[in-house]
Amino acid sequence: MQGMSERQYAAHVGLSRGAIQKAKTAERLVLYPDGSINAAASDARRAETTDPSKTRKPPAPKLKPVPEAAVTAVGDTLREQGLAVPAVGGGTTFLQAKTANEVLKAQERRIRLQKLKGELIERARALALVFRLAREERDAWVNWPARAAALMAAELSASCSEATGQQITAEPAAMQKVLEKHVRAHLDELAEVRPDFR
């Protein structure tokens, strides 16, 4: 056999054997004397005689567009691990996306293990704890001038009297007012500090 059989030529051009038999009957194929099909010559003749509007084109694979957020996440993950990141608009390769996915799975497993060991706590719980501790600290500082003013006034009076030899008295109420003013100013500065658990 010099050329292809009907079955081989059908596989070669991606058509059914019945379509090849019809083309053969319509003399749109070039045959060798033994009846086998001359593939190269038949391809050329079919291209000349076939109406382009009636040819079946293989359907293009339908790929879903990848959301920009997913591409950004892949780039961020690769960058965090010190791996090569695709240029903007350059497209992410399958290998890069798979690497990022494996890195994320490993990170997720590590975090889950740390949670099970009790090394991690939830952000909301940490914020509530920090807020409660800060409130307790603030309340302790707000009440401190009232407790310490009388003691500080007595110490100042005693040390000034020794230094000058005269009886000098520091008023506890005035001392408390001054202390409260300075403590509140300092607490206002501390209130600007916000914990960031990102």
The answer to the question of residue 62 being in a domain is no
Residues 88 and 131 in one domain: no
The 10 Å Cβ neighbour count of residue 153 is 19
- For residue 172, report the phi and psi dihedrals to the nearest 5 degrees: -60, -35
* Domain-located, residue 31: yes
Q: Say how far residue 29 (Cα) sits from the centre of its chain.
A: 58
Provide the number of structural domains found in the chain.
Answer: 3
Distance CA 67, CA 13 (A): 37
Q: Hey, how many other C-beta atoms are within 10 angstroms of the C-beta on 37? A: 25
**Same domain for 73 and 112:** yes
Q: How far apart are CA 141 and CA 195, in angstroms?
A: 20
Higher pLDDT, 66 or 11: 11
Q: Which comes out higher in pLDDT, residue 181 or 164?
A: 181
- Judge if 102 and 132 occupy the same domain: no
Output 64-67 pairs: Cβ under 8 A, ≥24 positions apart.
66/92
* Residue 105 CA, distance from chain mean position: 12
Report the 10 Å Cβ neighbour count for 128. Answer: 11
Averaged pLDDT for residues 187-191: 76
Residue 112 has pLDDT above 70, yes or no: yes
pLDDT 10s digits, 33-56: 998 999 999 998 888 887 767 666
Is residue 63 in some structural domain?
A: no
Q: What is the pLDDT of residues 54-98, one digit of tens each?
A: 666 666 666 666 666 666 777 777 777 777 766 655 566 677 777
Domain span at residue 16 reads 6-54
**61 within domain boundaries:** no
**Cβ atoms within 10 Å, residue 174:** 11
